[in-house]
Each structure stands twice: as structure tokens, then as C-alpha cells.
Amino acid sequence: METKKEILAEFKRLGFSLIDENKVFGSITFGEISIEVTICIDQDFPFKAPIIFLETISGKKELYKNIPYKWRHLDEWVLSQNPRDSKFTICCLHNWVPQGKNNARFICDRIYSWLKSNITETWDPEEDLPTSKIIPKQATVARLILSNEFIESCMKELKPKEKKLYKLIHSKYKFKGTGATSRNGVISNKYALDDIDFNNPYIYFFSDDRETKSTCLDYLINIKSDGGFNHADCLVIRLPSWARFKTLYQLLEYLRVNEYITSKLVRKYNNLPIVVIFRGDKGRTEVVSFLCDKEILNQNGSMKVQMISIDTIPKRQPEIGLNVGLIGVGSLGSNVARLLVNKGVKTLYMSDHDMLKPENLGGHILPSMFLYANKADAVANYLMHHLVKETEIYSGNNDEEVFEKADLLVVTVGDNEAFNKLAFNKLQNYKKPIIWAWVSPHNIIHKMVITSQKTGCLNCFFLLEKKNETLRQINEKVNEELSKLDISYIDLCGNPHTVSFPERMADFAAKIVATISLYAKTKRFEFDYLVEYWDVNTSIPKIFTGLLNVQDECGCEGKGREN
């Protein structure tokens, strides 16, 4: 691989001019079209790809208005509030890796190929990676958070060429010079764009965007904004598929010429947020957002625009289309609950009769702010405020309600008496699948047993453990290991606490959720029991699985299934 010095020398041999120790300037021609480019090679070369700035097209320098509408794989860098100041970079070094062939000749060939593809409108599939029609890459800390659902609702409500004012909510503005903030709850369209300090971060979201509203309000509370925010009218425009533009300047000109933005509309605002929805590259829906003032209508004016970056919350289809019930929301159960919600379970019902105590902190997913709250209610509260909210969550201490509403039940109760009461009384004749899961002190052994009308019962598994040579040997080894360890420690108040390892608990919870996920897709389990054994000096457990048939000594009503 060439060094930086060597590649600069090679560019000179190819006819490029050396601007300084980091840049070369030259031209590339295809047919009658010639472009001039500046290639920047910084100190991180060859590990970082060179940046290629487009300077002119056939001698024309005002690229903001002269770039052809159909040109692709070109990024715009909005350097100020004036879109005429934009710079443009060519995206032709996809999947750059530091290797010998990536020399000056290779880079020139890639630029030539990019130019040829844009002129002929024919792209090599390997070069034609997903792109966007307009990507203003301004370094802005103003961010609009959108959900795909809200964009889809706008597409349904607005026909092409239509526009509408929506209500926007955003964090309070800070003003240049004084550092003062906007008053809580005011309509912020009254503030002059020049007075707002955009060196400070702001987030924007639509009041009708149900998917993002709670997330953004949580953020405002987290940054200690005193819950303060402003409202603003925001113009949402849906452009027709035939709208022609490539750069931000061309888009603004299109909006002005086609009277999407009129003097009647903007004269009552000192600043107006605008969101434009349009058909982008290969027919994909794209969105761009910015703040403008009255000067946007002045053809000879500065056309002042403050870009707003767009972050989206993707639409997630529940990956586990089941109503899952969780009995016991301790260290293991809380990890299962978190993963189920992250994975996208349809509905989660939780029940626990215990409260979160100081001894639970560390192994449990809950922080100390939930001390002495019911575990199920606290976990539900935590998950609804910290994770994506497609899952409906219900909680409390009503086991029977969970039994009734769940399609599949997970029992992770740690108390032996409560566990036995469920196994041999309340759930003895339960018709739906149950995943029973428990762990030993020090997490030396984890056991997951799945019972249903097609398997033996939990007692059948305990009988199988005595007859199956492998399972019996594992249990004997575990008992031997535990006899050497303190399975609990005594605190200052004389209370015993079981020793456990949170990383092993999380690993076991992941296996439980993976089992549920597969069942949701196939309506079958690939095993009836899983036993994993952690040797004292290993980081990876040994795993044993098998099927659970009805044991003759049990006499339960399970049908069992053939091996």
C-alpha cells in the first residue's frame, strides 16, 4: 500500500496539481462533460478513504444551482445558513480498505466511473449502493425526531402538491449574546431566526406523533430542562413525484417558484419550520427539514435557512406475536422481561408478590429509585420509559389474570415454596405451554423445562433426572461444587443472601427468550428441557437438551412425545 507521500507523487504524474501537503486538484472527463475535483488525503491515509470535493462541472462553479437533477451518489455539506455556500463530495470509494490496488490510478478510475454512470444513467450494481436524493450534511445539533408511522400518516393525509400546518414541540431556545432562554410554552415562531443560538442542542417532535412524543418528553426531563418546551407551527409539504431538484438551493427555489411557500403564509412568522416529503432515489420516500425566515421569498436575498437533522424511530413489527405471561420478576425474570420487550413481544403480562429490596440491587435490572416498589409494577414502569414501546405491558400481583391472558407462560419464581405451589397445585392442569426456569447459587447450573399437553409434567422431569445417567452425574457434580462454596452470605442484620452472577443470569435469560422467539415462528419447541452446567473455572457452560416424555412412575395426564 502506498504511503501518503507516494500517492501524492503519483497524482502529480497523472496531471494533478499539488495544492498543499494534503490536497491535489485535477480534472476528469467523460464525453463532453468535464469535472474538476479536489482530493483530500489526510494523515489517516490509507486507513481513511480520501475525500473528493466536486469543484466545477464543465467550467461552472455555482454547483448549488448547476448540479444536474439526476446525478446521484453526491453528498451536500451545508456550511452556513446560506445554501449557496454548500460544498459537494463525490461518493465513489465505497467499501474502502487499505490495500495495494487503492492507489492514485484506482481513485481516478473510480471518479471516472462515477461521472460516466451519472451521464449515462447506468450503474454497476456493486457501485450503486443505497443513496439519498438530498443529504445536507450540516454539523447541526438541531434534530427532528420522527417515527415512520407519522411519515406514513402524512403521506395518507396529504396528496402530492398539498401542504398543511402541523403543531411542533421543541426544547426551549437560547438566544445569542444574552444566553437567555425562551419562555416556557410560548409559540416560538415569533422569534427571529438570527436571534436563536444554534450552537446549543434542540430537539423537535410533532405533537401528533404518538411514537416519539413520550421518548422526547423523557429526554427533556433527563436533560433537566424543567419540563419546559415551546410550541411552533410547522409547514409539512408533500411534493409530487415529478419534482425536480438535487441540491438544497434547488429545492428551495422549487418551493418558491411553485408557491408552496407564499408571502401570505410566511408574513406572520419570524421563523417557520418546514418539513418536505418527496420521492427520492429509486422511488423511496425521503424527508428533509429546515427553519427559514421571510428572506426565503426574496429572490435576491440571502435565502437564510437553518438545517434540522432528522432522526427516525423505525417501525418495528413484533417479532414474538404472542401474549407472554411472566410469573416472578426477580433477577432472572427481569432480564427475561427486558429481552422480550427489546425483541418485540406482542403483550407482556407480569406478576410478582415481592418488592425490590436493597439486596436485589446489582443482579436485578432495576436501579435504586425503584426500591420497595412491587417488582412487576416497577419493571413495567422501567421498560415503558426506557425501551421502544410497541409492546403492551401489564403488571401487578394477580397470577390468575396472567394465567388466563397468556398464550405462553414463563415461571422464574425463585422462592421454593412459591415455585412448588405453582408446579403442583395452581398450574398442575394448565393447558398452555409453560417454560419453567431456575438457577442454583453461584449460577453453577441453570435448568429450563418446557411442559405442555404434548410432554410430561415437571415431576416427570424430576423423575427423569434420577434415571438419566447424564443428568444424574451433572446434579452430583453440582452438589459437590456447591458443598465447597458459601451458597449465601449473611448481612449485618443476620439475613442470608444467595450468591449469583449477573452475566450468567443475562445469558440464561437470552436462551429463554430465544426459545420463545422460535416457538412464536414455528409453533413447536426444539427441546423439552435444557440443562447448562458452568464449571467453576470456565466462562462457557456445557449444555444438555432432551425431550420429556411421561414417566411411568408419575401417572400425569401429559401425552408425551416420541424421541
The total number of structural domains in the chain stands at 3
Q: Are residues 25 and 45 in the same domain?
A: yes
pLDDT value of position 5: 86
Nearest to 206 by CA among 310, 55, 95: 310
* Per-residue pLDDT, 45: 85
- Contact indicator for 247, 67 with CB cutoff of 8 Å: yes
Does 469 reside within a domain?
Answer: yes
Say yes or no: 47 and 178 in one domain.
no
CA–CA gap between residue 183 and residue 172 (Å, rounded): 7
- Phi, psi (degrees; rounded to nearest 5) at 456: -75, 175
Any domain includes 127: no
Structural domain includes residue 359: yes
Q: How many H helices and E strands in the chain?
A: 14, 23
230 sits in which H/E element: strand 230-238
Which of 63, 89, 120 represents a domain boundary (last residue)? 120
Query: Cα(86)–Cα(54) distance, rounded to whole angstroms?
Result: 11
Distance, CA of 10 to CA of 255 (rounded, Å): 46
pLDDT tens for each residue of 325-351: 999 999 999 999 999 998 889 999 999
- Contacts by 462-471, CB closer than 8 A, 24 or more apart: 463/551, 463/553, 463/554, 464/529, 464/548, 464/551, 467/551, 468/546, 470/544, 471/531, 471/544
Q: What is the mean pLDDT of each run of 10 residues along the chain (563 residues)?
A: 83 93 94 96 86 96 93 90 91 82 90 96 84 68 89 92 94 92 91 92 90 74 66 95 91 90 84 92 87 76 82 76 96 95 92 91 90 94 75 90 97 91 91 95 92 92 95 91 67 56 92 96 95 86 94 77 48
And the C-alpha cell for 354?
Answer: 415481592
Last residue of a domain, one of 88, 120, 152: 120
Q: Give the C-alpha separation, 275 to 234, whole Å.
A: 7
- Contact between 324 and 349 under an 8 Å Cβ cutoff? The reply is yes
> How many CB atoms sit inside 10 A of residue 214's CB?
13
Are the CB atoms for 151 and 289 separated by under 8 Å? no
- Do 283 and 407 lie in one domain? The reply is no
Task: Please give the helix or strand (H or E) that residue 235 lies within, else none.
Answer: strand 230-238
Q: Which residues contact 122 (CB under 8 A, 6 or more apart)?
A: none
Pair 148, 248 in one domain = yes
Q: Which of 313, 337, 362 delimits the end of a domain?
A: 313
The reported pLDDT for the residue numbered 317 is: 65
Rounded to whole angstroms, the Cα distance separating 403 from 400 reads 5
In a domain, 443, yes or no: yes
The answer to whether residues 363 and 482 belong to one domain is yes
In a domain, 31, yes or no: yes
What's the pTM value of the predicted model, to 2 decimals?
0.74
Residues 395 and 492 both lie in one domain: yes
d(CA 206, CA 357): 40
Residues 89 and 47 in one domain: yes
Please name every residue paired with 439 in a beta bridge, in sequence order, or none if there are none. Answer: 446
Burial class (CB in 10 A: 0-12, 13-18, 19+), 267: exposed
Residue 81 included in any domain: yes
In a shared domain, residues 68 and 191: no
Containing structural domain, residue 93? 4-120
Q: Is residue 176 included in any domain, yes or no?
A: yes
**Same domain, yes or no, for 309 and 333?**
no
What is the SS3 assignment for 264? helix
* Residues 231 and 275 both lie in one domain: yes
In a domain, 150, yes or no: yes
The verdict on 156 and 40 lying in the same domain is no
- In CATH, what number is assigned to the domain containing residue 508? 3.40.50.720
Q: Which residues have C-beta within 8 Å of that of residue 540, sequence separation ≥ 6? A: none
Do 301 and 328 lie in a common domain? no
* Continuous H helices in 146-295: 148-157, 210-222, 248-257, 263-266
Per-residue pLDDT at 563? 41
